[in-house]
Amino acid sequence: MMKRLLPTTKKVLHALSLTLTLLCVCVVCARARQQAGAAVEVKPLAARLGYPADAKLLIVHADDIGVAHSVNAATFKAFESGLVTSGSVMVPCAWLPEVSAYARAHADADLGLHLTLTSEWATYRWGGVIGRERAPTLYAPDGYFYPTESEAASHADVREAEAEVRAQIERARAFGIRPTHLDAHMRTLYSTRALFEMLLRVGREEGLPVMVSREWFTEAPFLPAALGAEGVALDRIETITPAVRPEGWAQFYRDFVKSLRPGVTELIIHLAYDDEEMRAVTREHPEWGSAWRQRDFDFTTGEEFRRLLKENNVRLVTWREVGKLASKSK
């Protein structure tokens, strides 16, 4: 009797073991799907900031602060208009001390860091904070940062890039700048997944939101998981491009404001005066050159821009406001 039952018992135990194994696999898969789903569902930013679903919120953001006195002067003047709400600073550049003086005198200034690993101008170059000895992969043969984001990203050791990024954050704070957010000059730190994930991690550890758009989720499917449900993601980012002719500048911005959709949008602008200093800096580079920056300044600080915002029920917000969410989730 026992001999007849033994094979049957073994079969039952084997089936039971297989069932339990499959059950465990199903539980693990369900948990993985649950975690992935939670990560994908990055919460809408406007709602988290306490605004209604139909609110059109806009950050008008000036890049490249610290590059030159012309950039600084135009940007600080733009802040006075109340129409340009935020900006980001290039810590390695020569005019950082002037930004430092402004930041100390204007504690409420919404200044982020335009983390810099490239040096694009032909005759005005810079390197990093920690130097070539500590981060050799960040430097071109001429001893400065590489001129393009593709060159910089392809050569950079992520650990050296992280050391430079952290050094730029530390130097900014030492200079009296209290950064409200992080982004990347020429988007170098967005060029590869490894660099991007490092940037997000540093931002999270520092309690600083990183400029990210929901529009990028399709092209970078790892982003929602990297951000997490409590991560900060703008709804969209817009900037004028070289495809827009000078005579079409004002119309571009008119169309932009009139077509603005609900949610949080960042408009990236580049400000400076079309003066001798800026013409020398941007020589051989008319796109994002001195005349380009003067046109951006003229429109985004002018009364037409103010009127358009009012007529289209656009509310201006800052990264400082957004940053309170990042500091909570740190």
Query: What percentage of the chain exceeds 90 in pLDDT?
Result: 79
Q: Output the pLDDT for position 152.
A: 98
pLDDT at 289 over 80: yes
DSSP secondary structure of 61-121 = EEEEETS-HHHHHHHHHHHHHTS--EEEE-TTSTTHHHHHHHHHH-TT--EEEEE------
Considering the domain boundaries, does residue 272 fall inside one? yes
Interior/surface letters 260-281, b for 16+ CB within 10 angstroms, e for the rest? bebbbbbbbbbbbbbeebbeeb
Q: Rounded distance, CA 73 to CA 61, Å?
A: 15
Residue 17 lies in a domain: no
Q: How far apart are CA 11 and CA 272, in angstroms?
A: 80
Decide if 296 is inside a domain.
yes
**Residues 60-79 pLDDT 10s:** 999 999 999 999 999 999 99
Range of the domain at 61: 42-328
Burial bucket for residue 9 (CB in 10 Å: 0-12, 13-18, 19+): exposed
User: From CA 285, how far away is CA 293, in angstroms rounded?
Assistant: 12
167: CATH: 3.20.20.370
**pLDDT tens column, 34-48:** 444 344 578 889 999
CB-based contacts of 183, cutoff 8 Å, min separation 6: 63, 88, 112, 113, 114, 115, 210, 211
Q: Long-range contacts for 31-36 (Cβ within 8 Å, ≥24 apart)? A: 36/225
Residues for the chain: how many in total? 330
Q: What is the pLDDT of residue 14?
A: 40
Contact 88, 181 (CB under 8 A): yes
Q: What is the pTM of this model?
A: 0.87
The b-or-e profile of 107-122 (16+ CB within 10 A means b, else e) is: eebbbbbbbbbbbbbe
Cα 5 from chain centre: 68
Site of tokens 């399709």: 218
**pLDDT-wise least confident of 41-45, 75-79, 213-217, 261-265:** 41-45
The answer to whether residues 181 and 323 touch, using CB atoms and an 8 Å cutoff, is yes
**Rounded-to-integer distance, Cα 259 and Cα 193, Å:** 32
Helix (H, G, I), strand (E, B) or coil at 212: coil
Q: Say how many domains are in the chain.
A: 1
Amino acid at 20: L
Q: What is the pLDDT of residue 13?
A: 37
Task: Give tens-digit pLDDT for 92-148.
Answer: 999 999 999 999 999 999 999 999 999 999 999 999 999 999 999 999 999 999 999
Q: Is residue 28 part of a domain?
A: no
| Cα–Cα distance measured from residue 209 to residue 314, given in angstroms and rounded to the nearest whole number | 22
The contacts of residue 66 (CB under 8 Å, 6+ apart) are 72, 89, 90, 91, 93, 94, 95, 96, 98, 99, 114
Q: Confirm whether 266 is domain-assigned.
A: yes
Any domain includes 13: no
Q: How far apart are CA 301 and CA 127, in angstroms?
A: 32
Q: Which of 320, 273, 323, 267 is nearest to 294 (CA)?
A: 273
Q: What is the spatial distance between Cα 321 and Cα 265, in angstroms, rounded to a whole number?
A: 14
Helix-helix angle 193-206:158-174, to 10 degrees: 30
Nearest to 222 by CA among 254, 246, 197: 197
